[in-house]
Amino acid sequence: MIDRLWKPWFVRRPERFARRIWTAVAPPAPGVRPLRTAWGATIAADPTKDIGRSVLTTGVYDLTLSEVVARLTPPGGRAIDAGANVGYVSVLAALCAGPGGRVDAYEPHPDLAPVAERNLRGAADAGPLARVAVHPVALGERPGRADLILPAGFGANDGLARLAEGASGGSEQTGERRVSVDVRRLDDELNAEGAGGAVDLLKIDVEGHEAPLLRGAAEALAAGRIRHVLFEDHAVHDAAGSEVTRLLEEAGFTLFSLGRTFHGLHVEPLAAGRLASSSEPPNYLATRDPEAALAALRPPGWRVLERRFPARPAARGRAEGRR
C-alpha cells in the first residue's frame, strides 16, 4: 500500500491522490472532456482511455516521457511530435518552446487529429505558446497512402493504432479495423522549409512504425538536422535486436535508456538494458549531443510536477542550423 502511495505525483501533488480515490469510487463516463495537467495546461481527452485516465488521476501521462520533453525542448526551440494522439506532448513542448519556438504534430487518425488541434488552440491559457501546426497525416518511408490499423483494444487505448501497408479491410477474427490515411516523408517536410528546418526534439510513438519513419528521415538524420530523438521501442533488447537503434547509431547518434526513480530521471547507456518498469512504456533517447543531454536530464526533480511551470533552465546548445 505504501508503495502505491509513494509516487512523485502523489507526494508532490497530494490532491491527485484524492482524485485517484474518487475515480475508483465513481469511475468517469467515457467521452472527451477537459482535464487539467500538473504542468498547467487543460487538455481534452477521454478519462476512460490511457492518456486521459493518467492525466485525470496523476496530472501527467508517462512521467519519464513528459520530463524528458520538458528538459530537452529549449525556449525558442523546435519539436516534432510523431504520433501525437490528442496532442499531450505537443502542448507540453509548445509551452516549453514558448513564443519563439515551433511545434509540429503529426497524427493520422481522423478522430484524434481534431482533438490535438483543439488542445493546441486552447492551451494558451497555460502560458505563451510556440507556433503550432497539426498535420493529419502519418510519417513514413515513402509518400502515398497506407492503412492505419485500429486493433481490437483501440477502444480502451487509442494509442494502439499502427500504420501498415496492405489491403484495406478488417479481420473478423481479431476485431481490427483499417482506415486509409495519407503518408509523408519527414525529409520532404523538412526540405520544404529550406536550410533552416532543424529540429531540437523529435518524439516518436508510432506503435512499431518507427523504422520506416526514420528511413523517411534519413537525410535529416545524416545531416545533423535533428538533435534529439525520443522514442518508444519494445524490441531494443530482443535477441534479434532493434532496427530502430541500428538506424540511429549508423546516423551518428548516442543512445540512452530512460527510466525514473522517486527523485528524478534515470539515464544510462543503452547497454544498461531497459530501465522502465514493466507497467511503463520503454522509452529511449538518441542524441547527437550526449554531454548536453545528460547535463539537462540528470539533475534531480520533476519540473512537470512543479506548480510554476516551465521552471527550468534551457538545455544547452541547439540543433545544427538554428544556432
Q: What are the tens digits of pLDDT across the range 216-261?
A: 999 999 999 999 999 999 888 776 679 999 999 999 999 999 999 9
pLDDT over 50 at 117, yes or no:
yes
List 319's β-bridge partners, or say none: none
Cα 63 to Cα 5, 34, 42, 55, 276, distances in angstroms:
16, 20, 17, 10, 11
Alpha helices in 147-262 (DSSP H): 186-191, 210-215, 218-222, 243-250
Q: What's the angle, vertex CA 296, arms to CA 308 and CA 321, rounded to 5?
A: 105
d(CA 146, CA 149): 9
pLDDT, position 220? 97
Give the separation between CA 98 and CA 132, rounded to whole angstroms: 10
d(CA 48, CA 56): 9
d(CA 86, CA 160): 13
| DSSP type of residue 254 | E
Q: What is the mean pLDDT of the chain?
A: 88
Output phi, psi for 200, to 5 deg: -75, -40
For the chain, give the percent of residues with pLDDT over 90.
69
pLDDT for position 319: 53
pLDDT of residue 5: 63
Q: Is the pLDDT of residue 293 over 90?
A: yes
Residue 148 and residue 138 in contact, taking contact as beta carbons nearer than 8 Å: yes
How far apart CA 63 and CA 281 sit, in angstroms, is 10
The amino acid that residue 307 corresponds to is R
Q: What is the pLDDT of residues 69-90, one digit of tens each?
A: 999 999 999 999 999 999 999 9
Query: How would residue 160 be classed by pLDDT, with cut points 50, 70 and 90?
Result: low
Strand stretches in the chain, DSSP E: 33-36, 42-45, 78-82, 102-106, 131-135, 138-139, 144-150, 162-164, 177-184, 199-204, 226-232, 254-260, 265-269, 283-287
Using a cut of 0.75, tell me whether the model's pTM lies above it.
Answer: yes
**pLDDT (average), residues 135-157:** 83
Domains of the chain: 61-145+181-305 (3.40.50.150)
Distances (CA, A) of 10 to 21, 35, 56, 198, 261: 11, 17, 12, 38, 14
- Residue 283 has a pLDDT of 96
Q: Which residue has the cell 519540473?
A: 303
Residue 312 pLDDT > 70: no
| Per-residue model confidence as pLDDT tens digits over 273-289 | 999 988 889 999 999 99
Residue 320 pLDDT more than 60? no
164 band by pLDDT with thresholds 50, 70 and 90: confident
Which pLDDT value is given to residue 17? 74
